[in-house]
Amino acid sequence: MRSVISTNLAKPKPPATKTSIPTADDAALFRDAVGDARLLPDPGRIPPPPPYVKPIPRQRQTGDSPAHDLLTDHVAWEDNNDDPLTFQRPGLSQQAIRRLRRGHWVVKDELDLHGLNREQAREQLVAFLNECQQRDSRCVRIIHGKGLSSRNNEPVLKQLVKSWLMQREDVLAFVQAQPAEGGSGAVIVMLKRGK
């Protein structure tokens, strides 16, 4: 059998020094030592300004940012469109909506919200849209589902996703997806150009 010899390789700690309160004798010694000292004249230099740090918008942060709390479930929107799954910001042309509906732009990214509850879906949507803005993905698909497995077979996320998308300023428009791309269970979203 081999014997194991353990050695303590750690260095011994230096003894702790006690901090003492200065006495009157200490103060007198200090005054004697610095009695002839004078302040240096002011050189008149101006220190350079600190470097500029570009601010980071809080809404674009992910993780610990409460950006998903900015999207509410209870917003009443007036739709001027005949199609309830079509939305466009004022100033966006009807031609852009037609092109979006016909698949003129290539879908660059996709988010599937199947199986998520309301809060999970909201967080995933915010994180996804923030990432799309950073990657400059202008056309994306969001699959919210048709609600076939929900209570009363009603699509819960469909209306929530619509409301959340309408609240985001980076969303220019959205339309219901073509049947081959998810139909009434998905939307195609046009986003503003990323920064």
Note the pLDDT tens digit of each residue in 112-152: 988 888 888 899 999 999 999 888 888 999 988 876 666 66
Beta bridge partners of residue 88, listed in sequence order: 173
Q: Tell me the pLDDT band of 49, cut-offs 50, 70 and 90.
A: confident
Q: How far apart are CA 166 and CA 88, in angstroms?
A: 9
Cα distances (Å, whole numbers) of residue 159 to 19, 77, 114: 68, 11, 14
In this predicted structure, what is the pLDDT of residue 64?
46
Full residue range of the structural domain in which residue 191 is found: 107-195
Give the CATH number, domain containing residue 153. Answer: 3.30.1370.110
The answer to whether position 77 is within a domain reads no
In this predicted structure, what is the pLDDT of residue 152?
66
Number of structural domains, the chain? 1
Q: How far apart are CA 163 and CA 137, in angstroms?
A: 21
Structural contact between residues 100 and 139, judged by C-beta atoms closer than 8 angstroms: yes
Q: State the average pLDDT over residues 65-78.
A: 53
In this predicted structure, what is the pLDDT of residue 65?
44
In this predicted structure, what is the pLDDT of residue 79?
46
pTM, to two decimals: 0.58
Residue among 157, 164, 163, 165 at smallest CA distance from 184: 157
The answer to whether position 149 is within a domain reads yes
* pLDDT tops 60 at residue 181: yes
Beta bridge partners of residue 139, listed in sequence order: 190
In this predicted structure, what is the pLDDT of residue 126?
92
The answer to whether position 135 is within a domain reads yes
Structural contact between residues 48 and 133, judged by C-beta atoms closer than 8 angstroms: no
**When comparing pLDDT for 75 and 143, which is higher?**
143
Q: Tell me the pLDDT band of 46, cut-offs 50, 70 and 90.
A: confident
* Number of neighbours of residue 130 by Cβ within 10 angstroms: 20
* pLDDT tops 70 at residue 178: yes
The answer to whether position 189 is within a domain reads yes
The answer to whether position 117 is within a domain reads yes
Q: How far apart are CA 62 and CA 124, in angstroms?
A: 10
